[in-house]
Amino acid sequence: MMKLLTIVGARPQFIKAASVSRAIEQYNQSLYQLTIHEVLVHTGQHYDQNMSDVFFSEMQISQPNYHLGIGGSSHGAMTGRMLEKIEEVILQEKPDVVLVYGDTNSTLAGALAAVKLHIPVAHVEAGLRSFNMKMPEEVNRVLTDQISKWLFCPTETAVKNLQNEGIVERTQALITNVGDVMYDAVLFYRKIAKPTDKISSLIDELSGNFYLATVHRAENTDDPVRFSNIMDALNTISETTPVVLPLHPRTRKLLGSDYSSKVRRMDPVGYFDMITLLSHCQGVFTDSGGLQKEAFFFRKPCVTLREETEWVELVTSGLNILVGSHQDAILNSEKKVKKLASFTQDTDFQYLYGDGTAADKIIKVLLGSA
Ligand code: UD1
Ligand code: UDP
């Protein structure tokens, strides 16, 4: 038996872990002799019902074995407290492998706690780079890659980034392009996703004539000029085409209750509501990493409200328009979105993110080198 300690904490990590945990359960039901015992640790980085619990219940993720309850503080405080608590869990559980996802503070804390106790680390979504070290996520992912034994890349670009850094020569890590676990999730859950009544009614009301938007990145929310430019542009767009904006708590706090706009704001929605909104919208405006790819999975044009993206293949393929935060650029991009809205199944781009079996591949690689 291989004991795998999985660390999650933030919304996108629940979605990524759902695919791998389900693949582990299926693997354990098969006739192979070596089974995997997964122990799930939730750091508590995201803690509101609609930022955490909703994903566990909808996506049928097992309840965490450990909930550390650490969230809502500064980077150093949060990461430090996670490091201390995860170390205690590792000492108690003595796992064979620690599995971390993405680029959040929970990712770095999990990887660092493990490597210091000589437990090998598997990093899912390795090799992504924005080449902007001012982003907290870039710091987290660069450092996590340095201390991981298994580097599971979602794209060829990610593999090349790691090769360019000479990481294998330095650390003897094993790089594998497995594809994107978020693609696995979309393929599985889109067949069973039932939206809430609220989202069903909204979709009926808007008859598919709306854009879906999210804004939460520190680089946008922490800069008042960038933030107001983005919000003003979304407001202008919504004068002609409704904009549906599920608000991350970070953004909601910033807007306050007296902010007035035509944008259809709402609390964060669950994954089922989100993929339903995605499947009906005309296009996406976002600074989210995950949502850029999901827009592509649903063949929707995406305007990325950032200066750079880790998902460069979407930009070079013309499906993702990288605009930053200038109002004019955002407003001009809407014209391109309207043109692109008619593009459908373009087979040339089908396998940018693998074939929907990333989670299986991760398990096989881990067991193969166990
Ligand atoms: C984090 C990740 C980011 C990821 C995002 C996904 C880091 C450095 N950043 O950013 O990479 O894209 O999650 O959503 O790890 N809050 C609540 N309720 C919650 C969660 C957060 O009120 O359930 C508020 C708290 O005031 C908190 C703030 O939002 O201080 C920011 O949360 P935090 O987890 O620090 O960063 P995110 O912006 O969510
Ligand atoms: N998401 C969601 N509800 C929302 C907003 C986003 O379920 O209200 C999902 C989204 O579909 C994607 C993931 O959360 O699967 C992306 O997470 P987020 O944007 O918070 O983080 P990032 O991907 O930028 O790290």
Query: How far apart, in whole angstroms, are the C-alpha atoms of residue 108 and residue 24?
Result: 23
- CATH number of the structural domain spanning residue 281: 3.40.50.2000
Is 118 a residue of the active site? no
Domain co-membership, 52 together with 154: yes
Beta bridge partners of 41: 7, 66
How many domains does the structure of the chain reveal?
2
pLDDT of residue 351: 80
9 lines ligand 2 (CB under 6 A): no
CB of residue 11 inside a 6 A radius of ligand 1: yes
**pLDDT computed for residue 347 by the predictor:** 45
Q: Which ligand is nearest to the CA of 110?
A: 1
Do 26 and 165 belong together in one domain?
yes
Q: Measure 288 CA to ligand 1 centroid, in angstroms.
A: 12
The range of the structural domain enclosing residue 262 comes to 189-344
Give CA–CA dist 213/281, Å, rounded. Answer: 10
Q: Report pLDDT digits (tens) over 284-328.
A: 999 999 999 999 999 899 999 999 999 999 998 888 999 999 999
Same domain, 97 and 221: no
- Verify that 195 and 176 share a domain, yes or no: no
Centre of ligand 2 from the C-alpha of residue 241, in Å: 22
Ligand 2, atom 17: closest residue by C-alpha: 12
- Alpha carbons 101 and 185: distance in angstroms, whole number: 14
Smallest-distance ligand from the CA of 53: 1
Decide: residue 53, CB within 10 A, 0-12 exposed, 13-18 middle, 19+ buried: middle
In a domain, 291, yes or no: yes
Residue 52 within any structural domain of the chain: yes
Residues (pLDDT < 70) of the chain are 32, 342-350, 369-370
For residues 37 and 115, state if they share a domain. Answer: yes
Task: Give the pLDDT score at 57.
Answer: 97
Same domain membership, residue 314 and residue 173: no
Residues 168 and 198 placed together within one structural domain of the fold: no
| 147 and 22, same domain (yes or no) | yes
With a 6 A CB cut-off, is 276 part of the ligand 2 pocket?
Answer: no
Which protein residue has the closest C-alpha to ligand 1 atom 5?
10
- The answer to whether residue 245 sits within a structural domain is yes
Count of other CB atoms within 10 angstroms of residue 246: 22
- 229 & 155 share domain: no
Q: Of 216, 248, 280, 326, which is the active-site residue?
A: 216
176 class by beta-carbon count within 10 Å (0-12 exposed, 13-18 middle, 19+ buried): middle
Assess whether the C-beta atom of 105 lies below 6 angstroms from ligand 1: yes
The reported pLDDT for the residue numbered 335 is 92
- In a domain? residue 328: yes
Q: Kindly state if the Cβ of 103 falls inside 6 Å of ligand 1.
A: yes
Query: Do residue 117 and residue 202 come from a single domain?
Result: no
pLDDT at 203: 97
- pTM score of the predicted model: 0.97
- Tell me, yes or no, whether 131 and 203 share the same domain: no
Q: Do 228 and 151 reside in the same domain of the chain?
A: no
Q: For residue 344, what pLDDT is reported?
A: 52
Supply the pLDDT for residue 339.
Answer: 85
**38 within a domain of the structure (yes/no):** yes
- The answer to whether residue 349 sits within a structural domain is no
Q: Is the CB of 288 within 6 Å of ligand 2?
A: yes
